[in-house]
Amino acid sequence: MKQLTRYGLMLVALFIVAGVFYSQAQKDQQVVDSPQEVTTTTTSTTSQEPEEISQEDEIELDDQASEETEETQKESSETENESSIDLAKFEFIDGKEEVIDITDNIGRPMVVNMWATWCPPCREEMPAFQKAWEDHKEEVDFFMVNALHSKPSENKEAVDRFVEKHKLTLPIYYDLDLATMIEVQATFLPTTLFINKEGEIVHHQIGMISPEDLEKHIESIL
C-alpha cells in the first residue's frame, strides 16, 4: 500500500513538472513569433514607398539625359557634316550640259539645294525657293541641283515637265552620277546648304525648310 502511494505521488509530480515546462515553452514561442511578424510588415511598407519615388526620379533623370545626349549628338553630327563637305567635289551641269565648278563662285553667298521631282517635300518647298531667288538673285547664287537618276523616272524630261507645270524661272542644275548628292551627304531629300562669301558652310539643312527659316538663313550669309 505504501508503495502504491509513493508511485502515485511521483506520477503527480511528473504531471506538475511537465505542465510547468509546457507553459514556459508557450511563452517563449509567443515572444519569438511576435517580433518577426512586425519586422516583415515594416520592411514591406518601407521598401514600397522609396521604390515608387525612385522609379519616378529615374524616369525623369533618364529623359533629361536622353535629351542632352540627343542634342549633343545632333550638334556634333551637324558640325562634322559641315566640316567634311568639300565644295571642290561638287559635280553638276547646267541646262546646256556645261560642268559647273562651284568654287568659282566663292566670294558670293551661295544656296545649294538638292531635290527631285518624286520628292513631296521638295515639291512643297520649291515655291519658297522661287520667291527667295527672285528677292535675292542679285546678291546670292542659287544652285537648285536635281538628283538626276536617283530613280529610274528621274530624268531631264521629268524635270522639264515639273519646271513648266510650276512656272519656275530659277536656275536648275543636274547632278552628275549623284556625285554632289553623295558629297553633300544628302541621305534625305531635300537637303540645302547655306554658304557664305568665304566658302564656309554656315548651315546644313536636312529635310524641308520653311519660308521663314529659308529667309533667315539667307540673311545669315549676306
| Rounded Cα distance, 144 and 175, in Å | 10
- φ/ψ of residue 87, rounded to 5: -60, -30
pLDDT of residue 215: 98
| Rounded Cα distance, 204 and 91, in Å | 18
CA distance readout (Å), 126 to 81, 136, 152, 154, 197: 24, 15, 22, 17, 24
Same domain, 102 and 196: yes
Same domain, 93 and 78: no
Domain total in the chain: 2
Q: Answer with the one of 42, 69, 84 that is the final residue of a domain.
A: 84
Q: Where residue 158 sits, what CATH number does that domain have?
A: 3.40.30.10
pLDDT of residue 154: 98
pLDDT of residue 28: 42
Q: What is the pLDDT of residues 53-88, one digit of tens each?
A: 445 444 444 445 444 434 433 443 444 455 689 999
Same domain, 130 and 168: yes
| Rounded Cα distance, 183 and 91, in Å | 9
Q: Which residues of the chain have pLDDT under 50?
A: 1-9, 12-14, 16-54, 56-63, 65-80
pLDDT of residue 36: 39
pLDDT of residue 186: 86
Q: Range of 153's domain?
A: 87-221
